[in-house]
Amino acid sequence: MTVLVGLSPRARDDAGGAVGLAARLARVWGEDLAVALVVTPGTADDAAPAWAAVEGVLAATGLDVRQDTVHGRSVAEALVAAAGEGGVSALVLGTDADRSGRIATRVARSSPVPVVLARGGGASVPGMPVHRVTCAFDGTTGAPAVLAAAADLARRSDASLRVASFAVRRGAAIPPEVGLDAEEPVIAEWTRQITAAQQEALDALGLEGVDAGVHVGASWDAAVHAADWTESDLLVVGGSPSAATRFFLGDRAGAILAAAPVPAVIVRA
């Protein structure tokens, strides 16, 4: 099996984060590493600057790296086609400047393999292990499938599994005369329901002793950061392949992805 990382012809020094993360995952999973330089109409065919930008990272991996050039009408089309080639287990991409993950989301909707979005500088160190895999559990009908994917990823990584659900307090949306205390019973009831759903999904998979929790904040960023994170963590979020691209992740999962302080694995639920 092979971990594939996508590289833009315009890649410069920051491209090393995605390549380093791909090398890290290849080591953890005992797989090969391949780098695909994406060329689309209107992009420069000269790959030398892009390869030079990641040369040092590739050399530091100590792995035999396959270097390919792939073509397509768009970045997403080229990467999906490359991911569909036999033996690819995951596709690693760098983050967008605005941390939206929009390119990764576009690719993930059609990708036959999970898409991993690079986040956090230290998390891209090639030799770093994966100690914990966190499943972002939203309680929807697709949540058990996302949990199953996260559990499999934890097993492959020889890592522990954690289940986390996130929510935001409405705050300013509540009229002052009502008071913020009026929201607490709603949050408490949602917490009870999502906790029960977490346990039901874990029981269905025969998983015991899994760390599970609920994290609430004044914003999605605050809620996500309310959970403790380390550089050796991975986050798993799920999307619906039947939805239009811009709705693939949904508001909740998209916001969690944007706030994630660690690499995020996008799976199709």
- Find the length of the chain: 269
**Beta-carbon contacts of residue 194 (< 8 Å; ≥ 6 apart):** 137, 139, 165, 167, 214
Contact yes or no for 161/133 (Cβ under 8 A): yes
Tell me, what's the pLDDT at 86?
A: 81
Contact yes or no for 101/107 (Cβ under 8 A): no
Which has the closest alpha carbon to 136: 253, 251, 258? 253
Contact yes or no for 94/17 (Cβ under 8 A): yes
Tell me, what's the pLDDT at 16?
A: 65
User: What mean pLDDT comes out for the span 228-244?
Assistant: 82
Q: Where are the beta strands (DSSP E) in the chain?
A: 2-7, 32-39, 65-71, 88-93, 115-117, 132-136, 160-168, 211-217, 233-239, 264-268
Q: Judge whether residue 47 has pLDDT over 80.
A: no
Tell me, what's the pLDDT at 26?
A: 95
Phi/psi of residue 207, nearest 5 degrees? -100, 130
Q: How confident is the model over 108-166, as pLDDT tens digits?
A: 888 999 999 988 666 777 789 999 999 999 999 999 999 999 999 999 999 999 999 99
Angle separating helix axes 75-83 and 102-110, nearest 10 degrees = 50
* pTM of the predicted model as reported, rounded to 2 decimal places: 0.89
Which amino acid is located at 165 in the chain? S
Tell me, what's the pLDDT at 176?
A: 47
Phi/psi of residue 268, nearest 5 degrees? -90, 120
Q: Judge whether residue 44 has pLDDT over 70.
A: no
Q: Judge whether residue 216 has pLDDT over 50.
A: yes
Which amino acid is located at 267 in the chain? V
**115-117/160-168 β-pairing:** unpaired
